[in-house]
Structure 1
Amino acid sequence: MISAVDLRAGNTFEKDGKLIKVLEASHHKPGKGNTVMRMKLKDLRSGSTVETTMRPDEKVKKAHIDTKAVQYLYIQDDMAVFMDLETYEQYEIPVSVIEHELNYLLDNMEVSIQFYDTEVVGVSLPSSVVLTVAETQPSIKGATVSGSGKPATMETGLVVSVPDFIEVGDKLEINTSEGNYMKRAK
Protein backbone atom coordinates (compact mmCIF):
# COMPACT_ATOMS: atom_id res chain seq x y z
CA MET A 1 0.00 0.00 0.00
CA ILE A 2 1.13 3.52 -0.79
CA SER A 3 -0.21 6.89 0.38
CA ALA A 4 -1.61 9.33 -2.20
CA VAL A 5 0.94 11.94 -1.09
CA ASP A 6 3.74 9.58 -2.26
CA LEU A 7 2.31 9.06 -5.77
CA ARG A 8 4.27 10.66 -8.61
CA ALA A 9 3.80 10.90 -12.38
CA GLY A 10 4.50 7.48 -13.88
CA ASN A 11 3.40 5.47 -10.81
CA THR A 12 0.73 2.81 -11.31
CA PHE A 13 -1.80 1.62 -8.72
CA GLU A 14 -5.00 -0.42 -8.34
CA LYS A 15 -8.26 1.11 -7.12
CA ASP A 16 -11.80 -0.28 -7.35
CA GLY A 17 -10.61 -3.05 -9.71
CA LYS A 18 -9.06 -0.54 -12.13
CA LEU A 19 -5.40 -0.28 -13.11
CA ILE A 20 -4.52 3.42 -12.98
CA LYS A 21 -1.41 5.35 -14.06
CA VAL A 22 -0.60 8.77 -12.59
CA LEU A 23 -0.02 11.31 -15.38
CA GLU A 24 0.27 14.38 -13.12
CA ALA A 25 0.25 14.84 -9.35
CA SER A 26 0.47 18.02 -7.28
CA HIS A 27 0.01 18.95 -3.63
CA HIS A 28 -2.69 21.61 -3.15
CA LYS A 29 -3.51 23.60 0.00
CA PRO A 30 -6.70 25.61 -0.48
CA GLY A 31 -7.30 28.77 1.54
CA LYS A 32 -9.72 26.90 3.79
CA GLY A 33 -9.99 23.22 4.41
CA ASN A 34 -7.62 20.30 4.21
CA THR A 35 -4.70 19.68 1.90
CA VAL A 36 -5.53 17.54 -1.16
CA MET A 37 -3.59 15.84 -3.95
CA ARG A 38 -4.73 16.99 -7.41
CA MET A 39 -4.14 14.25 -9.94
CA LYS A 40 -4.59 13.49 -13.59
CA LEU A 41 -5.08 9.73 -13.90
CA LYS A 42 -5.33 7.30 -16.83
CA ASP A 43 -7.19 3.98 -16.68
CA LEU A 44 -4.73 1.65 -18.46
CA ARG A 45 -7.42 -0.82 -19.50
CA SER A 46 -9.96 1.59 -21.01
CA GLY A 47 -7.57 4.41 -21.97
CA SER A 48 -9.80 7.07 -20.35
CA THR A 49 -8.28 9.94 -18.37
CA VAL A 50 -9.77 11.79 -15.44
CA GLU A 51 -8.76 14.65 -13.17
CA THR A 52 -9.50 14.07 -9.50
CA THR A 53 -8.44 14.86 -5.96
CA MET A 54 -7.39 12.47 -3.20
CA ARG A 55 -6.70 12.95 0.47
CA PRO A 56 -2.93 12.81 1.14
CA ASP A 57 -3.39 9.98 3.67
CA GLU A 58 -5.59 7.88 1.33
CA LYS A 59 -3.99 4.48 0.65
CA VAL A 60 -3.93 2.62 -2.67
CA LYS A 61 -2.37 -0.68 -3.74
CA LYS A 62 0.77 -0.09 -5.81
CA ALA A 63 0.84 -2.15 -9.02
CA HIS A 64 4.09 -3.69 -10.25
CA ILE A 65 4.54 -3.13 -13.99
CA ASP A 66 7.08 -5.14 -16.02
CA THR A 67 8.42 -4.10 -19.42
CA LYS A 68 9.62 -6.08 -22.42
CA ALA A 69 11.46 -4.97 -25.57
CA VAL A 70 9.31 -5.46 -28.68
CA GLN A 71 9.01 -4.35 -32.28
CA TYR A 72 5.90 -2.54 -33.53
CA LEU A 73 4.57 -4.38 -36.59
CA TYR A 74 1.17 -3.10 -37.82
CA ILE A 75 -2.51 -2.41 -37.01
CA GLN A 76 -5.14 -5.02 -37.83
CA ASP A 77 -8.84 -4.93 -36.85
CA ASP A 78 -8.46 -2.18 -34.19
CA MET A 79 -5.49 -4.00 -32.62
CA ALA A 80 -1.84 -2.87 -32.69
CA VAL A 81 0.48 -5.87 -33.12
CA PHE A 82 3.92 -6.07 -31.48
CA MET A 83 6.54 -8.85 -31.62
CA ASP A 84 8.91 -9.95 -28.84
CA LEU A 85 12.48 -9.51 -30.11
CA GLU A 86 13.73 -12.68 -28.39
CA THR A 87 10.91 -15.23 -28.62
CA TYR A 88 9.07 -13.78 -31.69
CA GLU A 89 5.82 -14.08 -29.72
CA GLN A 90 3.20 -11.54 -30.84
CA TYR A 91 1.14 -9.28 -28.55
CA GLU A 92 -1.99 -7.35 -29.45
CA ILE A 93 -3.04 -4.10 -27.76
CA PRO A 94 -6.36 -2.37 -28.52
CA VAL A 95 -5.78 0.80 -30.55
CA SER A 96 -8.11 2.70 -28.19
CA VAL A 97 -5.71 2.09 -25.28
CA ILE A 98 -2.60 3.42 -27.09
CA GLU A 99 -4.08 6.13 -29.35
CA HIS A 100 -1.60 8.77 -28.11
CA GLU A 101 1.42 6.47 -28.53
CA LEU A 102 0.46 5.53 -32.12
CA ASN A 103 1.21 9.13 -33.16
CA TYR A 104 4.90 8.34 -32.63
CA LEU A 105 5.14 4.71 -33.82
CA LEU A 106 6.58 3.70 -37.19
CA ASP A 107 6.52 0.17 -38.61
CA ASN A 108 9.37 -2.00 -37.26
CA MET A 109 10.21 0.54 -34.51
CA GLU A 110 11.59 -0.92 -31.28
CA VAL A 111 9.74 0.10 -28.09
CA SER A 112 8.82 -1.46 -24.75
CA ILE A 113 5.42 -2.82 -23.81
CA GLN A 114 4.18 -2.82 -20.24
CA PHE A 115 2.73 -5.86 -18.46
CA TYR A 116 0.66 -6.18 -15.32
CA ASP A 117 0.98 -9.88 -14.44
CA THR A 118 0.35 -11.38 -17.90
CA GLU A 119 -1.91 -8.57 -19.16
CA VAL A 120 -0.44 -6.11 -21.70
CA VAL A 121 -1.42 -2.61 -20.52
CA GLY A 122 0.57 -0.11 -22.55
CA VAL A 123 3.56 1.04 -24.56
CA SER A 124 6.65 2.93 -23.32
CA LEU A 125 7.96 5.36 -25.91
CA PRO A 126 11.49 6.75 -26.14
CA SER A 127 11.79 10.40 -25.05
CA SER A 128 11.97 11.52 -28.68
CA VAL A 129 11.43 10.06 -32.16
CA VAL A 130 12.45 11.08 -35.68
CA LEU A 131 9.49 11.56 -38.05
CA THR A 132 9.26 12.83 -41.63
CA VAL A 133 7.09 15.82 -42.58
CA ALA A 134 4.32 14.55 -44.87
CA GLU A 135 2.44 17.81 -45.38
CA THR A 136 2.98 21.50 -44.57
CA GLN A 137 2.71 24.93 -46.15
CA PRO A 138 5.57 25.98 -48.45
CA SER A 139 8.56 27.49 -46.67
CA ILE A 140 8.91 31.23 -46.56
CA LYS A 141 12.11 32.69 -48.05
CA GLY A 142 14.22 34.31 -45.33
CA ALA A 143 12.28 32.62 -42.51
CA THR A 144 14.18 32.17 -39.26
CA VAL A 145 13.84 29.89 -36.26
CA SER A 146 12.22 32.68 -34.24
CA GLY A 147 9.21 32.98 -36.60
CA SER A 148 5.67 32.28 -35.46
CA GLY A 149 5.61 28.77 -36.92
CA LYS A 150 3.18 26.75 -38.98
CA PRO A 151 1.42 23.38 -38.63
CA ALA A 152 3.06 20.30 -40.16
CA THR A 153 1.51 16.84 -40.49
CA MET A 154 4.01 14.08 -39.80
CA GLU A 155 4.03 10.65 -41.53
CA THR A 156 2.09 9.12 -38.60
CA GLY A 157 -0.68 11.76 -38.76
CA LEU A 158 0.61 13.78 -35.80
CA VAL A 159 0.26 17.55 -36.31
CA VAL A 160 3.13 19.62 -34.87
CA SER A 161 3.87 23.34 -34.91
CA VAL A 162 7.20 23.86 -36.71
CA PRO A 163 9.34 26.85 -37.76
CA ASP A 164 8.52 28.49 -41.12
CA PHE A 165 11.64 27.12 -42.89
CA ILE A 166 10.60 23.43 -42.50
CA GLU A 167 9.58 21.71 -45.77
CA VAL A 168 7.85 18.47 -46.81
CA GLY A 169 10.31 15.58 -46.56
CA ASP A 170 12.36 17.07 -43.70
CA LYS A 171 13.14 14.68 -40.85
CA LEU A 172 12.35 16.19 -37.44
CA GLU A 173 13.02 15.14 -33.87
CA ILE A 174 9.73 15.20 -31.92
CA ASN A 175 9.39 15.11 -28.11
CA THR A 176 7.00 12.23 -27.30
CA SER A 177 5.83 13.50 -23.90
CA GLU A 178 4.91 17.01 -25.09
CA GLY A 179 4.29 16.24 -28.78
CA ASN A 180 6.34 19.20 -29.97
CA TYR A 181 9.13 19.95 -32.46
CA MET A 182 12.64 19.81 -30.97
CA LYS A 183 15.02 20.15 -33.96
CA ARG A 184 15.82 18.93 -37.44
CA ALA A 185 17.21 15.41 -37.45
CA LYS A 186 20.37 14.58 -39.35
Structure 2
Amino acid sequence: MYQPTDLKKGTVCQIDGKPYRVIEYGQKVMGRGGSIVNVKLKNLLDGSVIPKTFKGQDKIEPAEVASKTVQYLYHDGDIFCFMDPESFEQFELSNDVVDEAKDYLKEGCELNLQVFDGRVINVELPKNLYLEVTYTEDVVKGDTTSSVLKDATLETGLVIKVPAFIKQGDIVSVDTATGEYRERKK
Protein backbone atom coordinates (compact mmCIF):
# COMPACT_ATOMS: atom_id res chain seq x y z
CA MET A 1 0.00 0.00 0.00
CA TYR A 2 1.13 3.52 -0.80
CA GLN A 3 0.96 6.46 1.59
CA PRO A 4 -0.17 9.73 -0.07
CA THR A 5 3.41 11.08 0.09
CA ASP A 6 4.60 8.08 -2.01
CA LEU A 7 2.61 9.35 -5.01
CA LYS A 8 5.39 11.12 -6.89
CA LYS A 9 5.00 12.06 -10.57
CA GLY A 10 4.91 8.90 -12.71
CA THR A 11 3.74 6.56 -9.91
CA VAL A 12 1.06 4.09 -11.06
CA CYS A 13 -1.71 3.33 -8.57
CA GLN A 14 -5.11 1.66 -8.61
CA ILE A 15 -8.35 3.38 -7.61
CA ASP A 16 -11.71 1.59 -7.88
CA GLY A 17 -10.03 -1.20 -9.85
CA LYS A 18 -8.63 1.14 -12.54
CA PRO A 19 -4.96 2.03 -13.11
CA TYR A 20 -3.94 5.69 -12.85
CA ARG A 21 -0.60 7.47 -13.33
CA VAL A 22 0.26 10.53 -11.25
CA ILE A 23 0.91 13.46 -13.64
CA GLU A 24 0.99 16.29 -11.05
CA TYR A 25 1.83 16.20 -7.35
CA GLY A 26 1.45 18.84 -4.65
CA GLN A 27 1.63 18.60 -0.85
CA LYS A 28 0.30 21.01 1.78
CA VAL A 29 1.41 20.64 5.38
CA MET A 30 -1.38 21.48 7.80
CA GLY A 31 -1.16 22.39 11.48
CA ARG A 32 -0.29 19.68 14.04
CA GLY A 33 1.76 17.61 11.60
CA GLY A 34 -1.04 16.60 9.21
CA SER A 35 -0.73 17.01 5.47
CA ILE A 36 -2.89 16.94 2.37
CA VAL A 37 -1.65 15.64 -0.97
CA ASN A 38 -3.27 16.99 -4.15
CA VAL A 39 -2.61 15.00 -7.32
CA LYS A 40 -3.82 14.89 -10.89
CA LEU A 41 -4.29 11.32 -12.07
CA LYS A 42 -4.48 10.09 -15.66
CA ASN A 43 -6.70 7.05 -16.18
CA LEU A 44 -4.52 4.61 -18.14
CA LEU A 45 -7.56 2.87 -19.65
CA ASP A 46 -9.48 5.81 -21.12
CA GLY A 47 -7.01 8.73 -20.86
CA SER A 48 -9.24 10.94 -18.68
CA VAL A 49 -7.56 13.14 -16.06
CA ILE A 50 -9.04 13.62 -12.59
CA PRO A 51 -7.94 15.69 -9.58
CA LYS A 52 -7.80 13.81 -6.26
CA THR A 53 -7.00 14.85 -2.70
CA PHE A 54 -5.59 12.44 -0.12
CA LYS A 55 -5.19 12.96 3.63
CA GLY A 56 -2.11 11.75 5.52
CA GLN A 57 -3.65 8.49 6.78
CA ASP A 58 -5.21 7.38 3.45
CA LYS A 59 -3.97 4.15 1.87
CA ILE A 60 -3.61 3.87 -1.91
CA GLU A 61 -3.38 0.54 -3.68
CA PRO A 62 -0.47 0.07 -6.14
CA ALA A 63 -1.59 -1.05 -9.61
CA GLU A 64 -0.45 -4.48 -10.79
CA VAL A 65 1.14 -3.23 -13.99
CA ALA A 66 3.59 -5.49 -15.80
CA SER A 67 6.23 -4.28 -18.22
CA LYS A 68 6.93 -6.03 -21.52
CA THR A 69 9.84 -5.26 -23.89
CA VAL A 70 8.84 -5.00 -27.56
CA GLN A 71 10.30 -3.85 -30.85
CA TYR A 72 8.49 -1.22 -32.94
CA LEU A 73 8.10 -2.32 -36.56
CA TYR A 74 5.95 0.19 -38.49
CA HIS A 75 2.63 2.02 -38.59
CA ASP A 76 -0.14 2.00 -41.13
CA GLY A 77 -2.57 4.86 -40.63
CA ASP A 78 -3.81 4.67 -37.04
CA ILE A 79 -2.44 1.16 -36.41
CA PHE A 80 1.05 0.63 -34.95
CA CYS A 81 2.72 -2.78 -35.31
CA PHE A 82 5.06 -4.21 -32.66
CA MET A 83 6.89 -7.51 -32.20
CA ASP A 84 7.81 -9.52 -29.11
CA PRO A 85 11.60 -10.04 -29.56
CA GLU A 86 11.50 -13.42 -27.78
CA SER A 87 8.52 -15.13 -29.42
CA PHE A 88 8.61 -13.04 -32.66
CA GLU A 89 4.82 -12.69 -32.26
CA GLN A 90 3.52 -9.52 -33.93
CA PHE A 91 0.61 -7.46 -32.64
CA GLU A 92 -1.04 -4.12 -33.31
CA LEU A 93 -1.96 -1.18 -31.09
CA SER A 94 -4.32 1.66 -31.91
CA ASN A 95 -3.40 5.34 -32.03
CA ASP A 96 -5.32 5.82 -28.73
CA VAL A 97 -2.93 3.53 -26.83
CA VAL A 98 0.27 4.76 -28.52
CA ASP A 99 -0.83 8.39 -27.93
CA GLU A 100 2.05 10.92 -27.76
CA ALA A 101 4.72 8.21 -28.04
CA LYS A 102 4.06 8.06 -31.81
CA ASP A 103 6.21 11.18 -32.29
CA TYR A 104 9.27 9.26 -31.04
CA LEU A 105 8.81 5.82 -32.60
CA LYS A 106 11.60 4.82 -34.97
CA GLU A 107 11.49 1.52 -36.88
CA GLY A 108 13.46 -1.16 -35.05
CA CYS A 109 13.66 0.63 -31.68
CA GLU A 110 13.03 -1.33 -28.49
CA LEU A 111 10.72 0.02 -25.80
CA ASN A 112 8.48 -1.15 -22.99
CA LEU A 113 4.73 -1.57 -22.93
CA GLN A 114 2.80 -1.44 -19.68
CA VAL A 115 0.21 -4.20 -19.34
CA PHE A 116 -2.71 -4.12 -16.88
CA ASP A 117 -5.09 -7.06 -16.57
CA GLY A 118 -3.82 -8.56 -19.87
CA ARG A 119 -4.36 -5.30 -21.78
CA VAL A 120 -1.68 -2.86 -23.05
CA ILE A 121 -2.37 0.49 -21.41
CA ASN A 122 0.73 2.55 -22.14
CA VAL A 123 3.81 2.81 -24.37
CA GLU A 124 6.77 3.63 -22.11
CA LEU A 125 9.53 5.60 -23.82
CA PRO A 126 13.09 5.94 -22.56
CA LYS A 127 13.77 9.32 -20.89
CA ASN A 128 15.99 10.43 -23.80
CA LEU A 129 16.12 9.32 -27.42
CA TYR A 130 18.69 10.01 -30.12
CA LEU A 131 17.08 11.00 -33.43
CA GLU A 132 18.52 12.29 -36.70
CA VAL A 133 17.74 15.79 -37.96
CA THR A 134 16.26 15.36 -41.45
CA TYR A 135 15.59 19.03 -42.16
CA THR A 136 16.56 22.37 -40.68
CA GLU A 137 17.24 25.82 -42.11
CA ASP A 138 20.86 26.80 -42.67
CA VAL A 139 22.09 29.40 -40.22
CA VAL A 140 22.90 32.95 -41.32
CA LYS A 141 26.68 33.44 -41.19
CA GLY A 142 27.71 35.17 -37.97
CA ASP A 143 24.42 34.26 -36.23
CA THR A 144 25.66 31.13 -34.43
CA THR A 145 25.13 32.05 -30.80
CA SER A 146 23.71 29.17 -28.82
CA SER A 147 20.75 31.27 -27.61
CA VAL A 148 19.23 31.43 -31.11
CA LEU A 149 16.76 28.58 -31.65
CA LYS A 150 15.35 27.27 -34.92
CA ASP A 151 12.97 24.50 -35.98
CA ALA A 152 14.36 21.08 -36.86
CA THR A 153 12.40 18.14 -38.29
CA LEU A 154 13.53 14.78 -36.92
CA GLU A 155 13.45 11.38 -38.65
CA THR A 156 10.15 10.52 -36.93
CA GLY A 157 8.47 13.70 -38.26
CA LEU A 158 8.60 15.48 -34.89
CA VAL A 159 9.55 19.19 -35.07
CA ILE A 160 11.55 20.59 -32.15
CA LYS A 161 13.51 23.78 -31.38
CA VAL A 162 17.30 23.36 -31.60
CA PRO A 163 20.31 25.73 -31.28
CA ALA A 164 21.47 27.46 -34.47
CA PHE A 165 24.62 25.30 -34.82
CA ILE A 166 22.60 22.08 -35.42
CA LYS A 167 22.52 21.07 -39.08
CA GLN A 168 20.83 18.47 -41.25
CA GLY A 169 22.24 14.98 -40.57
CA ASP A 170 23.16 15.69 -36.92
CA ILE A 171 21.98 13.22 -34.30
CA VAL A 172 20.34 14.98 -31.34
CA SER A 173 19.10 13.80 -27.95
CA VAL A 174 15.45 14.64 -27.21
CA ASP A 175 13.81 14.58 -23.77
CA THR A 176 10.72 12.43 -24.37
CA ALA A 177 8.85 13.93 -21.39
CA THR A 178 9.06 17.52 -22.64
CA GLY A 179 9.90 17.15 -26.35
CA GLU A 180 12.90 19.45 -25.90
CA TYR A 181 16.39 19.31 -27.37
CA ARG A 182 19.04 18.10 -24.89
CA GLU A 183 22.34 17.79 -26.77
CA ARG A 184 24.05 16.90 -30.03
CA LYS A 185 25.55 13.43 -30.20
CA LYS A 186 29.32 13.64 -30.39
Work out whether the TM-score is over 0.5: yes
CA distance in 1: counterparts of 2:96 and 2:102, whole angstroms: 10
Aligned to 1:4: 4
The structure whose residues are more often helix, as a share, is 2
- Alignment-mate amino acid for residue 109 of structure 2: M
How is 1:125-136 mapped onto 2 (pairs within 5 angstroms)? 125-136=125-136
CA distance in 2: counterparts of 1:125 and 1:86, whole angstroms: 20
- Alignment-mate amino acid for residue 156 of structure 1: T
Structure 1 residue ranges without an equivalent (≥5)? none
CA distance in 1: counterparts of 2:59 and 2:77, whole angstroms: 39
SS in 1 for 2:101: helix
Q: Please say if residues 146 and 165 of structure 2, whose CA atoms lie closer than 8 Å, have aligned partners that are also in contact.
A: no
How is 1:111-150 mapped onto 2 (pairs within 5 angstroms)? 111-150=111-150
Give 1:86 shift: 0.3
Aligned to 1:154: 154
Count, aligned residues: 184
Give 1:139 shift: 1.6
- Alignment-mate amino acid for residue 159 of structure 1: V
Give 1:180 shift: 1.2
Relative to structure 1, the CA distance from residue 26 to residue 84 in structure 2 (aligned partners, 3 Å threshold; closer, same or farther) is same
CA distance in 1: counterparts of 2:24 and 2:93, whole angstroms: 24
Identity of aligned pairs, percent? 38
Give 1:30 shift: 7.3
- Alignment-mate amino acid for residue 114 of structure 1: Q
Q: Please say if residues 140 and 165 of structure 1, whose CA atoms lie closer than 8 Å, have aligned partners that are also in contact.
A: no
Q: Deviations over 1:77-99 (max 9, x none)?
A: 52322110000122333212322
Give 1:168 shift: 2.6
CA RMSD of aligned residues (A): 2.4
CA distance in 1: counterparts of 2:124 and 2:102, whole angstroms: 11
CA distance in 1: counterparts of 2:4 and 2:79, whole angstroms: 33
Relative to structure 1, the CA distance from residue 141 to residue 49 in structure 2 (aligned partners, 3 Å threshold; closer, same or farther) is farther
Query: Is 1:48 aligned to residue 77 of structure 2?
Result: no
- Alignment-mate amino acid for residue 78 of structure 2: D
Q: Please say if residues 39 and 51 of structure 2, whose CA atoms lie closer than 8 Å, have aligned partners that are also in contact.
A: yes
Give 1:110 shift: 0.9
CA distance in 2: counterparts of 1:18 and 1:44, whole angstroms: 8
Q: Please say if residues 93 and 121 of structure 1, whose CA atoms lie closer than 8 Å, have aligned partners that are also in contact.
A: no
Runs of 4+, deviation exceeding 6 Å: none
How is 1:27-176 mapped onto 2 (pairs within 5 angstroms)? 27-29=27-29, 35-76=35-76, 78-176=78-176
Structure 2 residue ranges without an equivalent (≥5)? none
Give 1:66 shift: 1.5
SS in 1 for 2:142: coil
CA distance in 2: counterparts of 1:133 and 1:166, whole angstroms: 8
Q: Deviations over 1:78-127 (max 9, x none)?
A: 23221100001223332123222111110111111111232111122122
CA distance in 2: counterparts of 1:66 and 1:106, whole angstroms: 23
SS in 2 for 1:123: strand
Aligned to 2:21: 21
CA distance in 2: counterparts of 1:29 and 1:95, whole angstroms: 41
